[in-house]
Amino acid sequence: MEGYRFLNLRQMPAKKDEAAAWFHEKWGVPKEAYLSCMEAYLAGETELGWYLCMQGDAIVGGLGVIENDFHDRQDLRPNICAVYTEEKHRGRGIAGRLLSLAVEELRKKGISPVYLITDHTGFYERYGWQFLCLVQGDGEPNKTRMYIHR
């Protein structure tokens, strides 16, 4: 993918504050929550990391890995979270490349399977994810789809 760089936050720790603000802007989760997870990852307290797609100095895509993405199945972890690609960069395989990067890095560290929740159908299957079950999201009226990548 010409013009894009895919990396984990440990490869560019100076982007931590910008990345936390970027994820906050996309998902509305407090910036401090992202910073806390990112700082733990950068300090080596966890191997559950943060992944970015850069075009020049700009973040155009990203995702994180956390223990639980705010659902009732505490046994299904870790979870990919906050998957997002800027609209004008969609349709180029950025999310798929980020997902593969995260899954492969986790697998090399002995962390597998990996889970994610989503309301999308058809998207994650293209990247090797399989529907597993429905889970109840915290404060959500309806159940949401849980996927697994082995």
The mean per-residue pLDDT over the stretch 55-63 comes to 97
- Considering the chain, what is the average pLDDT of its residues? 96
pLDDT of residue 90: 97
pLDDT of residue 83: 98
pLDDT digits (tens, 9 = 90+) for 96-142: 999 999 999 999 999 999 999 999 999 999 999 999 999 999 989 99
The mean per-residue pLDDT over the stretch 57-78 comes to 96
The mean per-residue pLDDT over the stretch 32-57 comes to 97
Domain map (residue ranges) of the chain: 5-111
Write the CB contacts of 55 (distance below 8 Å, at least 6 apart in sequence).
Answer: 3, 4, 5, 89
pLDDT of residue 34: 98
The mean per-residue pLDDT over the stretch 66-88 comes to 96
The mean per-residue pLDDT over the stretch 70-87 comes to 96
Assigned CATH class of 5-111: alpha beta
Model confidence band, residue 94 (pLDDT cutoffs 50, 70, 90)? very high
Which amino acid is present at 112? S
Please report the beta strands in 5-142, taking only residues with DSSP state E, as ranges in sequence order. 5-8, 50-55, 58-66, 79-85, 114-118, 130-136
pLDDT of residue 55: 97
